[in-house]
Each structure stands twice: as C-alpha cells, then as structure tokens.
Chains A and B, each alone.
Chain A
Amino acid sequence: MGAIVDLNHPAHTVHWHFFQMTVANVVLLAVTLVLFLLALALPLGRLAARGRSPRPLTYACGTAALAALVVLLLSGMILSLKGPAWWHYAGVGRFFNSIHLWAVELLFLFMTINLAGQFFTAAWRHGGKRVWITGALGFLVAIPAALTGYLSQQSFDSQWLATQARAGFNAIGAGAFFNVTNFGQMYSFHMLILPLAVALLVTWHVLLLRRHGLVPPLQSRASV
C-alpha cells in the first residue's frame, strides 16, 4: 500500500555542535514535549465535569499508552499470521506493518508523557512505590521489545541496526547469548518473550494502580 506522503527518501538532519539527529526524530521529540506541556496545562473538560476523577491529562496518557500497547499486540498478531516476510510483498501486510510501526511510536510517545507526569507529581508517594517501579520496568523492557522488532524487519534498516547494536551487546558480554545479527533469535524474542514481559509488567502496573489509586496533588497537605 503506497503512502499519501512519501517518506522513503534520504533523511534531512538537524546539526548543532555534537548534536545530530534526523528531522523526523526531532519532530517526534518536539511533539512529545508539546503534548506534555499541553497535558499539564489543559483543562479536563467533560472528564472532570463528571466529578469522577480530577486527574491530570498526563494520567490519561497512561491509558493511551495502554491502548497503544493493545493496538501493537493486535497488529503484531495479524502480522504473525502470514510470517515475517508477508509485509514485503503484500499491500495488506504492508498496511498492518505500518499500523504496527506507528503504534510503537505512539506507545513510546504516550509512555514518555505519562512517565514525565508521574515524575513531576512524585507519584510514588503514599504507597505508590511499586506502581512507579513496575511502570519504569515496563518502559525499560519495552525498549528491547521495540529494538528486536526493528531488527526483525528484514530490510536494510535491520542490517544496519544489527551491525551497530552488536558492538554494545558484545561489549557487555550479552552478545554471547543475545545475538542481534541472528534474525531468528531476534524474531523469537520479539514475538514472545519481550512482549509477554511488557504485557505482564503493564498488567501488574495497572492492577497496583487500581489498588493504590492516584496520589493527591503534591502541594496538598497529604504530601507534606
């Protein structure tokens, strides 16, 4: 399936002293920052008017991250039905691969905003330590889960990432049992172990959050 906006051309970069990043990545980071600021300042409107939950919008980004994870898992399951090469030769496969790709970008975008919001409200107060710890672990485990997906694309990007990432994994000795140039191993990790770990951690995180609830605002007496 062709794109309405073709992004398959060499990237433009932003270069300032040692900082060099593709425009696309800079835009995504900028969008994350802007959304975070909006989430801090925007009123909740109808959600708050129901009187159920005067939660900050950064909390809603946690729900959005959970939703992105669901979309990611569902699109991944569909992709798995036809095997890892399907999206290279079938338009439908390409479409679901695209959904999968953008869902992971959305997942990290929402996770980052949620995380920043929880940090600035010191959400670990009042018994929320485990809520924070499971959320932070979920974020960290999601990183290799995403990386193994990029390594499983069977494209030039996979080749380049694999040859770049191997130096890091080999340097810490992990290359002995986690070989990023082994497509089969990376695909296995991406299909089962890592998504399962993320799903379990996120489930634990949500259950703990439902049990402990939200902490009161930092400036209230409860936080003294």
Chain B
Amino acid sequence: MNAQPSGTPPVQAVGSADGGGGFVKELAVAVAVVAQLAIVLAVLFSSPEEKQSTIQQWSRQDPVGFLRTALLELGGTSETAEYGPPYNHQGDGQHAAFLHPQRWLGVSQPIDTANDFVIGPLRTIPDATLQAEVSEYLGVGSGLKTDGIESTETALLKAPVAGDRSVYMKPGEYENVDNMMRALLRLAQSGGVDGYLLTGHGYYQTDYTKPLLFMADGRVLEERAHAEHLPQRQWAMMNETGSYPGLPWLWPYAFWYQIEPFRSSENADLLVWLVMAVLSLAFVCLPLIPGLRSIPRLIPVHRVIRRD
C-alpha cells in the first residue's frame, strides 16, 4: 500500500531545491504574522490575573473553617492525612487490576499532617505556657487526644467569631486542644503558618506542596474555583480563570472523567491515564498500525482538500 510505483508523481520537495532560503523566508513571514496576531490579542485581552489564595487570607475570612481543617490535620483524618503515596503510608492509592503504580513508587514527599501542619507551626511560637500545653497534649494517650479533638470540633459548631476574627470556645475538657487551636489561628492570621509551611526546610524555598495541600483539605481552593466556574464537573483541567480560554487541547483527557465507568470510579485518574496512554501510543504509531492508517481513505475529507 505504501510502495511508490514507477511513473507516479514524485514526493514533493519542501524548500530543499532553494537550499532552504525559501523555507527561511516563509518562516520569517509566518513569525511576523503570528507575532502581530499575538500582540493584537495581548493588547485586546491581556492575560488573566487572579491573586493566589493564602492560609492567612483563609484564616481571616473563615476562622472556624480553618480551625476545623486544622483539627482534621491534627487527628490524622484529613484527605492529605489519609492520602497514601507520595505523602504517607495511610493508603494504597489508586490501582487497576495488578497495577499499583502509586504504591510502587512510594512516599517521596513525606507529610505527617499533625506534626507538619499543626504541632510544627505551634513550636515556633515563643510562649512557654503554650509550649507546655503542646508537650502535655503530646504526652497523653491517643484516646485523650481524640477526645480533645472531638470536644473542640463540637465546640466550634457553635463558636462565635469576634470582630478581630478570633473564635470563642466555651470552657470545657479539651486536653489543651482549644488553646492550641487559638494559638494556631493567631499564627495563621499573622501569616506565620504560610511562612512555616513554605520554609520548613530552609530559607530559600519554592515548594508550595504543604500550604497547597492544607488549603485543599479545607476546600478553600474548591470553593473559590466554584465561584470562578472552575469545578471538576466543568472539565476543571481545561479552564483558565476569568473568561479566558484555557487548555482546550486537554479535552480528549478531560472527556473521560465525564462518562462511566470513569465518572464514578475511585480509580478514575489511573484508568483515564491508562486509556490516554493507549490512545497516545496509537496516535504516535498510527502509520504502523494496519487498519487505523487506512482511516483517511475511508473518510473522504482528502477529496475536498484544495490544492489548486
């Protein structure tokens, strides 16, 4: 099928006859045209600029929500705490048949939410009373810890927020968790938790994994994305903020999440990636796959291609 019989039109050279000069000229013209087009679009529409969310901002706007998330982190019941690899060993991650790539690759960014998101930041506060309370909390058994966390969660349900964005909790048996939460809230509202989670490993840092996961656990980003019309059901990965086009070329990937069995599967991400891996391989190797490479003959689009 691919053999070129004698007497047939030769394969047409692309600029090689002119030593490449024609191609360079053609490319130069194209660059000029596309650059002008990009400049016109830039002047007309500019680019999106939505300021990033911060833990400081979150703890001021929704102090109770922040504290409830912090309690989940402290108790080890947040999404991150139970995620599994690459953050911890609390889950196996997604799998498909015998494939467990998430587990196989292991924990590469270890995160202990209680210590990293709560105890660690509290330890930076120079307050002897607080430090004694934190030590006391760490010294009690897991049952008392759980009791303290649950009592504080219950108290937060009816906790009023003051004008200075502090949270009042009625006196009770909290195992010091209430005081720890108050201190954590003050630290977060001052920007201290943002700074701690970013600079936990040194002065120069560019890894935002911890603050992003903390905020994701608190559904801060999800709620803001919802307001921006960016939730998952709306093909999240494809969207840019504002009314800008985003990454529409990802639609063949995002599409699979919208239909069964992927839509309701707990292993949807892995399954979709496997489908896309097969499709991508077929796409690249199309010329080598009998049947698929004949599709253009069956779809007569080539008959309308104008070549003058």
Contact = CB atoms under 8 A, between A and B. Distances in A.
A52 B22 contact: yes
Nearest to A8: B242
Interface residues of B, number: 114
Interface in B31-51: 31, 33-35, 37-39, 41-51
Given A3-B44, A173-B104, A121 B302 contact: yes
A124 B241 contact: no
A105 B245 contact: yes
Contacts of A126: 2, 4, 11
28 contacts: A3-B44, A8-B242, A21-B238, A22-B234, A22-B245, A24-B243, A44-B307, A54-B308, A55-B307, A60-B30, A64-B30, A71-B38, A101-B42, A102-B47, A110-B34, A133-B285, A136-B284, A136-B286, A156-B51, A156-B228, A159-B52, A163-B215, A168-B272, A175-B86, A175-B102, A217-B305, A217-B307, A221-B8
Contacts of A170: 85-86, 93, 102, 269
A43 to B, nearest CB: 5
Interface string A199-224: 00000000001111111111111101
Contacts of B286: 119, 124, 132, 136
A188 B220 CA distance: 27
B296 A182 contact: no
A173 B15 contact: no
Contacts of A133: 284-285, 287
A99 interface: yes
A41 B304 contact: yes
B11 A213 contact: yes
B11 to A, nearest CB: 4
B242 to A, nearest CB: 4
B28 to A, nearest CB: 9
Nearest to A186: B206
Given A8-B242, A128-B287, A215-B11, 17 more contacts: A4-B45, A41-B304, A64-B33, A70-B31, A88-B49, A98-B41, A98-B45, A101-B42, A124-B293, A133-B285, A155-B48, A156-B52, A172-B273, A176-B86, A179-B86, A181-B208, A221-B7
Nearest to A63: B30
A120 B86 CA distance: 43
Interface string B8-34: 111111111000101100110011011
A3 B45 contact: yes
Contacts of A27: 245
B278 interface: no
Interface of A: 1-5, 7-13, 18-25, 27-29, 40-44, 48-49, 52-58, 60, 63-64, 66-68, 70-71, 75, 87-88, 94-95, 97-103, 105-106, 108, 110, 112, 117, 119-122, 124-129, 132-133, 136-137, 140, 143, 146-147, 150, 154-165, 167-168, 170-177, 179, 181-185, 187, 209-222, 224
